Structure 1
Amino acid sequence: MGRQLRHSGASVMPLTANSAHGFAAAHALVAYDSGSVYSFIPKNGCSTMRYSLALANGCISGPEQWSWIHANNHTFQASLRELVTAPFSFVILRCPHRRLASCFLDKILSRTQEFWALHRLTRDKLDPDKLSFRDFVMAISDTSMLRANIHWRPQIDFLVYEEYDAYYALEGFAQAIPEIENRAKISVHDARGLTNHATSQTWKQSPDAPRDICADMPLHELAALRREGRIPRSTDLYDAVLIEHVARLYAEDIVLYDQKFGNGDRLFPAFTQPGRTL
């Protein structure tokens, strides 16, 4: 039996004109030896997985060629037949609060092209020095802005199937690797040392320091901390208002995460979405 695509039946238009399916399908990649399909979601370990696929599919030979993946996000995009007949499908999800914090500390603090794209979309209203995490969250809170960039776009939008054979949490990714390698028939190679995208460093603070100490810290101060080798923890970017606001922005992502893994590994497990289902 073929797999059920998530968006195909929602429109009577030709599938090629179904934008929701087209977006999700563009992020569904094939491991050629096994025919397995992996849906990649930015900030969810996708550099490691895309690097591993590039090695497995014979397009690069080693770490000296790792940057090839940045120009080839969609090179291994699955065809319709490959989507429907895949023997194994999987996706890696992440706590939405952690994912957004990672996006900010990577893309916005580093002022990558994603920051300048957001700057243009807000008609240059964002001050590159004074912007804080709170400012960033408020800027992307508009419906169109929330989906303006794949690094903060809701995870639910990347799902091409109604159900995957396996859902893995990035919070437990190390434990998931053996199963991924066995079922997808690929070797997983950690790319964090190559990309420098990891935001696992923490800064030192006293145990009684307020948790929201960095919510309004401007980029120039955060950049100064980073130059000292320190960056905030994800939890340090949030106060109570931001916790709830982000949870509402990414309500469907939280429901999905909790349905698949429970809420124990989420950054703020006490905040749930009662009564919501997908």
Structure 2
Amino acid sequence: MKKRQLNYSADSYAYLPNNSAHRFAQAFALRIYRSNSIYSFIPKNACSTMRVSLAMANGCISSTADFNWIHCNNDTFRADLASLIQADYTFVILRCPFARIASAYLDKIVDTTGVAWELYDAVQRQIDIQDMSFRLFVNTITKPAILRANIHWQPQVDFLVYKDYDDYFNLETFAAAQSIISEKAQIDIIDARGLTRHGIERFELISNDTYADYLPDAIRTLKKAGQAPKPSTLYDDELIAKISKAFKKDIALYKSLFGTKNLMFS
């Protein structure tokens, strides 16, 4: 059995269940029972696809018709300490930090989901959600008090329960990774994008403008017409610099593992 080293356990000498950094990362470490595997799920990183796949592999749903089951069962497959240490296989799916933040905005803020209202509360209701351009969104979430206010933009490094995983994959090349995950974790990957409709795959991506200052209503109008901004067009140099600073550790990890080929801005 391979030795597993926890990422945040020694950061505090407190009773481990009271170690907030470890407790957070552990909450997102899910078990795949048949292969004794641990998958660390990170929101906006194919997490719905993977959670539907886990629910089916672990015998809790038998059809994608029940995909909404996953939203009520985020904790069902959560690993305990023994499962973390005794895992036979561990993996995580990372994502270009620039792409992840753009995705969080285009999905959660533009469509005025519950996450948008949580952000509204986090800023003491001082900013109207309908005034939340991408620029204002970035300026807001990169503030220390808001950076970890929601898991959909919280830094990816916070979700890593292990110092090292057997495999690190990235969403940008996920299609090529699926066969490896299926073989090692003994799980069939079920594409849930068409079920949750969280992504922008169904839209024509346009790049005829810089969309940093477009308001949500303007982007919703584009969506109704079957279009969406290409994620890179949400950024200008100022916003690239802000994300680069606030998500420095995420970017450094991504570069160290995958290089810069699939990083939106290098």
Please confirm whether the aligned pair reaches a TM-score higher than 0.5, indicating the same fold.
yes
Distance in 1 (CA, whole Å) between partners of 2:181 and 2:114 is 32
Matched pairs, number: 264
Percent identical across equivalent pairs? 47
Name whichever of 150-159 and 228-237 sits farther off.
228-237
Write the deviation string for residues 77-124 of structure 1: whole angstroms up to 9, x where unpaired.
011011001000000000000000000000000110100010011111
Give me the TM-score of the superposition, normalised by structure 1: 0.93
Partner of 2:191: 190
- Distance in 2, matches of 1:147 and 1:129, equals 22
RMSD: 1.0
Contact persistence 2:45–2:93 (CA under 8 A): yes
Report Cα offsets for 1:7-65 as digits up to 9, x if no partner.
Answer: 11111111011000000000000000011000000000000000000000000010110
1:1-278 alignment runs, 5 A limit: 1-200=2-201, 201-205=203-207, 209-210=208-209, 213-269=210-266
CA distance in 2, matches of 1:226, 1:187: 31
Structure 2 Cα separation of the partners of residues 74 and 26 of structure 1: 7
Spell out, residue by residue over 1:222-245, the C-alpha distance to the aligned partner (whole angstroms, 9 max, x if none).
111111111101111000110111
SS of the equivalent of 1:143 reads coil
Whole-angstrom distance in 2 between the partners of 1:28 and 1:244:
31
TM-score by length of 2: 0.97
In the alignment, structure 1 segments of 5+ residues that lack a partner are 270-278
Deviation string, structure 1 residues 196-249 (Cα, Å, up to 9, x no partner): 0112333445xxx45xx1000111111111111111011110001101111111
- Alignment gaps of 5+ in structure 2: none
Q: In structure 2, give the amino acid aligned to 1:177.
A: Q
Instruction: Find the aligned partners of 1:130 and 1:17 in 2 and give their Cα distance.
Output: 38
Do 2:206 and 2:230's aligned partners in 1 also have CA atoms closer than 8 Å?
no
C-alpha distance in 1 between matches for 2:137 and 2:230: 17
CA contact (8 A) 2:109 2:129 kept: no
The one-letter code sitting in structure 1 at the alignment partner of 2:204 is T
Q: What one-letter code is carried by the residue in structure 2 that aligns with 1:50?
A: R
Which residue of the partner structure matches residue 274 of structure 1?
none
Measure the CA separation in 2 of the matches of 1:228 and 1:123: 33
